[in-house]
Amino acid sequence: MFEPQKRIEGYRHLMPDLRGFGSAPAADDAMSMASYARDLLSAIGEDRFVLAGFSMGGYIAMELLRQVPDRIAALLLLDTRETADTEEARANRYKQADDVAKNGIGSVVEAMLPKMVVQEEYRADVRRIMESASPRGVIAALKAMATRPDSTETLRNATMPAFVIVGDRDEITPLRDAERMVSLLPNAEMAPIARAAHMANFEASEQVNNLIAAFLGRALRT
């Protein structure tokens, strides 16, 4: 899902698959945002880094803000939110997890795909990405999202330069979520992306890449 961002020049890109997604095998045990974060730190090594998180990746990014704030040079939050699930949303995730266990990931893909991109030309590629996930990986992710902590105070304490990106047609984490995160972050900018839904970085990649490159040019100046 971050493949288009590899075109941003001048940086080493690390894009590890989460357990149960892409080429990574699913975990044997239950997952949490903390365990996903530990996996990513193992892949990153000891260097400082720019951290980008899209959707659930944003929840993991906020866990990394709690674990290793001093190693994060700049923060990119794409189509995500800082709040924990409501009781209704949590119950819906467990319902989805049960459905995946019984019937596979097809129904989740069909329900989510129209919300991921609004431009028809991108739907086949996004479907392929979504269908590459394993049922066990999806179930673990749904349960981990259902139990994730609220990150309001985490963002208030995140002093590094931050950039919040949101598709203007995102129904999952809409503009108001992005605006709220920017109000919490001490040093943040925001960019709404026109004619883009939840996967704005994929659907409007040239615009998003240009914005990220410009932001990093400002944020990482020494």
* pLDDT at position 178 over 70: yes
Dihedral in degrees, nearest 10, Cα atoms 201, 202, 207, 213 = 50
What span, in angstroms and rounded, lies between the C-alpha atoms of 45 and 198?
Answer: 30
| Residue 221 binned pLDDT confidence (cut-offs 50, 70, 90) | confident
Domains of the chain: 3-84+148-219 (3.40.50.1820)
Tell me the pLDDT tens digit for each residue of 10-38: 999 999 999 999 899 998 889 999 999 99
Q: Per-residue pLDDT for 45 more than 90?
A: no
**Per-residue pLDDT tens digits for 86-132:** 999 999 999 999 999 999 999 999 999 999 999 999 999 999 999 99
pTM of the full structure: 0.96
- Are 77 and 65 a contacting pair, CB within 8 Å? no
For residues 207 and 195, the answer to whether their CB atoms sit within 8 Å is no
Whole-Å CA distances, 71 to 7, 48, 74: 24, 4, 9
Rounded to the nearest 5 degrees, what angle is found at the Cα of 149, between the Cα atoms of 111 and 126? 25
Contacts for 54 with CB less than 8 Å, ≥ 6 apart: 1, 2, 78, 79, 80, 199, 201
pLDDT in tens, 78-87: 999 999 999 9
What the block records as the tokens of 96 is 């989805």
Strand, coil or helix: 166: strand
Q: How far apart are the first and last CA of the chain?
A: 31
pLDDT at 222 over 90: no
